[in-house]
Chains A and B, each alone.
Chain A
Amino acid sequence: MKQDSILLFFCLLAITATIVFVWVFRSSIKAEERTPGIKNALQKRFWFLLILVVVFGIFASVTLPKSPYFAFAEEVPAKVIHVAALQFSFFLSEKSIDPKSPSGDNIELPLNKVVEFRVTSLDVNHGFAIYNPQMRIVTQTQAMPGYINRLRYKFTKPGIYHVLCLEYCGVGHPVMQTTFIVK
């Protein structure tokens, strides 16, 4: 899963940073009474700054194209699912949802085909996060009143998917969820 590699990456970075700091700290503890410390510190700091800018530049140019906003933009979705979030439930339907009397259906989605969710909220801000059968987030968007967010995704594993609300929406927030089937 993507999340595992993120956690691993973070831990590696954190450990590296800690090692550097500990090493610096020990060098201070062990140092003789009168030593000058780092030479040409100002210059070294400048280079350090420059290297960081370059690293960030590379990181940004690698990750930015992977942003989700235009995922599957070229394709015509096989299905569009309308989503209306409401304190404290989700309505999913293949037809558009009447805000005055919202209702939903049981949803079954095709495997390996692009599906589009049109997500909105009928009251406050909500989240719309799709969890795979192993309960890891695979994709998400926000449900904002007055706006429709289009979220496209291609499911590659069959099973029961959960939808959880990921924006605090009141005391029922943690029970706000629904499921759909992919097969």
Chain B
Amino acid sequence: MESLKLKKITALWVITILVLFLAAIVLGILMRLNQAEVINQEPLTFYTNMTTHGLTMIGIWFVAGMAAVNYLLQRYVKTSYTANLFAFILTVLGVVLLWLCTYLGKFNTGWTFLYPLPFKDLGAAPWATPLFLVALTILGLGWLVWSVSMMAKILQRYTLAQAFAWQHLSKQPKSETPPFILITMITLVGVIAALIAAVIVIVLFFAEYFSKGSFVNDALLMKNLIYFFGHTIANEMLYLGVAVIYEIFGELSGRPKWKTTWYVSLAWNSALIFILTAFFHHLYMDFVQPEGLQIIGQLASYLASLPSVAVTVFSIIVAIYGVRIQWSITNCLFFLGVIGWVIGGLGAVIDATISNNIVLHNTLWVPAHFHTYNAMGNVLFSLGFFYWFTTQHVSKLVISKLTKFALIVLIISGIGFLMAFYIGGADSIPRRYSTYPEALTTGPALARMGAYFACLYLLVILMFFYNIAKRCFAILSAPSSSVGA
């Protein structure tokens, strides 16, 4: 069913992602150790690490979702290999340029590069900011071409109405849209919108850069646009993971495939609107933003979680409750990931409530909740997919004693690492501090706790990496005939 070429490029994606993941985790641990005062780095080093960590993590888990969706999409439509390869090359190029920017050029604005910080004295090389913008342009171009191509392929087989499952809103739908197609479409629209926001941001940045000060941008407008891009892309990458779960969870458990119903269709279609307006919650503490948009931000943040939580999570529970299914490593990772995702979502909803945000905004509560649904959510979705992809066979995914142990360690490390963030957030410890002022007494101790648990997490990931990469290399080196058996 899936072509060999597609399989090989997907394997290439998987290996690249995992290697970058390991490197970025090490950066994360270094940051935590520095905050714990166990090691002593220059602030500049800390902030280049932080910027690299954030950009790399967002980048790789976004493309992980895209690669997985692209691979599974092959079951329904013929996707473009060229677009996939093009995206791969541009992603690698873009990431290399980003690392050059941060490590050679000392670029350190954080992954959100809020205007006008990139234009101010950063202690960075003068070429770092323009190169950063070029790197973003390259990534944006690659991803835009990729997502537009996937969307076009879907729309060649399905009409617009079918792709969005609108026919399910009527009493007797004539045709059925698989949930996978529905979610993929919704997500791709969001991804494209986020990338277009990035294009506008880059144009505005460049324009000011080349005008040499003859005009300046508006800080509020730029902040809105940057979070339109940043929030939306970070949000959509979760939905890419969800689409994968929809497609293969049932199959792996030997249960019937999930169906689209009228309210599933309605929930996801309205989620599209909510996802595109939820980013306003990043501007709650900018009182210049009109109150109406702030309220939209809170409501959209709440409602955006409905289709995912109520529909997806409930479907998983239905698939499992009281049914004897085969618990493979992929299933387990998906299941764990969903738990992490729900808990992270609870943390997010709490923070997306304006009256709480006033004491939580930009404290460690923020990395707390987004690491919950990334490190213990989306990452596990993708790892589950990687396992399944490299074996393509449920029986090969049975859980050994060692794997069971590794999963337990993963859970413990996740709880420890994340609780250090949550407690820090409740203790009003700010995010993005290379070291904590003396008055914030609990900061360093919590950072140490976070760092140690993160090391455990790294160990488990190393083990997964070994298992998955081994098989990926086998796929890459396999002659055409033996793969896909």
Q: Do chains A and B touch in the complex (CB under 8 A)?
A: yes
Tell me the A residues contacting B by CB distance below 8 Å.
Answer: 2-4, 6-7, 9-10, 13-14, 17-18, 20-21, 24-25, 27-29, 31-38, 41-42, 44-46, 48-49, 52-53, 56, 59-60, 63-64, 66-70, 87, 123-125, 127, 129, 131, 135-142, 144-147, 149-151, 162, 164-175, 177
A87 proximity list for chain B (CB < 8 A) = 120-121
- Which B residues contact A (CB, under 8 angstroms)? 43-44, 47, 108-110, 112, 114-117, 120-123, 218-220, 223, 259, 261, 263, 267, 285-288, 291, 294-295, 298-299, 302-303, 306, 309-311, 314-315, 317-325, 327, 335, 338-339, 342-343, 346-347, 350, 353-356, 358-363, 422-423, 425-428, 430, 432-437, 439-441
Contact B356 A68 (CB under 8 A): no
Take A7-B422, A136-B428 as given contacts and tell me if A13 and B294 are in contact as well, using a CB distance cutoff of 8 Å.
no
**A70–B292 Cα gap in the complex (Å)?**
13
A149 to B361, CA, bound (A): 16
Q: How far is the CB of A108 from chain B (nearest CB, A)?
A: 20
Q: Is the CB of A140 within 8 A of B361?
A: yes
Contact of B361 among A6, A9, A166, A170 (CB under 8 A): A166
Q: Which interface residue of B44, B347, B350, B358 has the most chain A CB atoms within 10 A?
A: B358
Residue pair A48, B359 in contact (C-beta under 8 Å): no
B172 to A: closest C-beta gap in Å: 16
Contact of A146 among B218, B315, B362 (CB under 8 A): B218
Most chain A CB within 10 A, of B261, B285, B432, is at B285
A35 adjacent to B324 (CB under 8 Å)? yes
Given A18-B339, A21-B339, A125-B223, residue A149 in contact with residue B288 (CB < 8 A): yes
B363, A45: Cβ atoms closer than 8 Å? no
> Is A127 a contact partner of B321 (Cβ separation < 8 A)?
no
Which residues of A lie under 8 Å from residue B321 when comparing CB positions? Answer: 24, 27-28, 37-38
CA distance A24 to B317 in the complex (A): 7
Contact of B114 among A7, A17, A29, A124 (CB under 8 A): A124
Which residue of chain A has the shortest Cβ distance to B314 in the bound complex?
A45
Interchain CA distance A124-B109 in the complex, whole Å: 11
Residues of chain A contacted by B306 (CB below 8 angstroms): 49, 52-53, 56
In the complex, residue of chain A having the shortest beta-carbon distance to the beta carbon of B351: A6
The interface residues of chain A lying within 8 Å CB-to-CB of B298 are 60, 63-64
Identify which of B121, B314, B347 contacts A170 (C-beta below 8 A).
B121
Query: How far apart are the CA atoms of A25 and B325 in the complex, in Å?
Result: 10
A175 to B423, CA, bound (A): 22
Which B residues lie within 8 Å of A21 (CB)? 335, 338-339, 342
Contact B355 A67 (CB under 8 A): yes
Minimum C-beta distance from B336 to chain A (A): 9
Least distance between A111 CB and chain B CB atoms (Å)? 21
When the two chains form the complex, which single residue of A7, A141, A146, A166 contacts B430, counting CB atoms closer than 8 Å? A166
Not counting A149-B287, A173-B434, a sample of 11 additional A-B residue pairs whose C-beta atoms are within 8 angstroms of each other reads A18-B343, A28-B320, A28-B327, A31-B323, A38-B317, A44-B318, A53-B306, A63-B298, A147-B286, A162-B439, A168-B47
- Across the two chains, which residue of chain A brings its CB closest to B343? A14
Q: Quick one: closest A residue to B288, CB to CB?
A: A147
B424 CB → nearest A CB, Å: 10
On whether A125 and B114 interact (CB within 8 A), knowing A17-B343, A56-B303, the answer reads yes
Q: Top 7 closest A-B pairs, CB basis?
A: A66-B355, A7-B426, A174-B433, A166-B362, A37-B323, A171-B43, A31-B324
Residue ID in chain A nearest B369 by CB atoms: A10
Whole-angstrom distance between the Cβ of B257 and the nearest chain A Cβ: 13
Contact between A48 and B347, CB atoms less than 8 A apart = no
Q: Which of A147, A150, A151 has the most CB of B within 10 A?
A: A147
Chain A hits for B425, CB < 8 A: 3, 7
Closest to B336 in A: A21
Q: Which A residues touch B319, using CB under 8 A? A: 37
Closest-CB distance, A175 to chain B (whole angstroms):
7
State A27–B303 Cα separation when bound (angstroms). Answer: 30
- In contact, A6 and B437 (Cβ under 8 angstroms): no
For the complex, give the distance between the alpha carbons of A45 and B437 in Å. 49
Tell me if B288 and A144 are in contact (CB < 8 A): yes
Give Cα A64 to B355, complex, Å: 7
Q: Select which of B287, B317, B434, B440 is within 8 A of A141 by beta carbon.
A: B287
Bound: A68/B480 CA distance, A: 63
Check A35/B323 contact, CB under 8 A, given A63-B354, A123-B116.
yes
Partner among A27, A125, A131, A135 whose Cβ is within 8 Å of the Cβ of B322:
A27
Q: Which of B263, B346, B350 contacts A49 (CB 8 A)?
A: B263
Name 14 A/B residue pairs within 8 A (Cβ), A-sorted: A24-B317, A37-B320, A56-B302, A125-B117, A125-B219, A125-B223, A129-B362, A131-B439, A135-B428, A144-B286, A145-B116, A168-B109, A170-B108, A171-B44
A93: min CB distance to chain B, Å: 20
CB contacts (< 8 Å) of A139 on chain B: these are 358-359
CA distance A53 to B434 in the complex (A): 40
A28-B322, A63-B354, A141-B285 given; A127·B362 CB < 8 A: yes
Please judge, given known A-B contacts A28-B324, A146-B219, whether A45 and B423 are in contact too, CB under 8 Å: no
Q: With both chains docked as a complex, state the minimum distance between the C-beta of A138 and any C-beta of chain B, in angstroms.
A: 7
Which residues of chain A are within 8 angstroms of B347 by Cβ–Cβ distance? 10, 14
Complex Cα distance A122/B426, Å? 30
Could you tell me the distance in whole angstroms from the C-beta of B304 to the nearest C-beta in chain A?
A: 11
Contacts of B426 in A (CB 8 A): 3-4, 6-7
Contact A142 to B339, CB < 8 A, known contacts A64-B298, A67-B354:
no
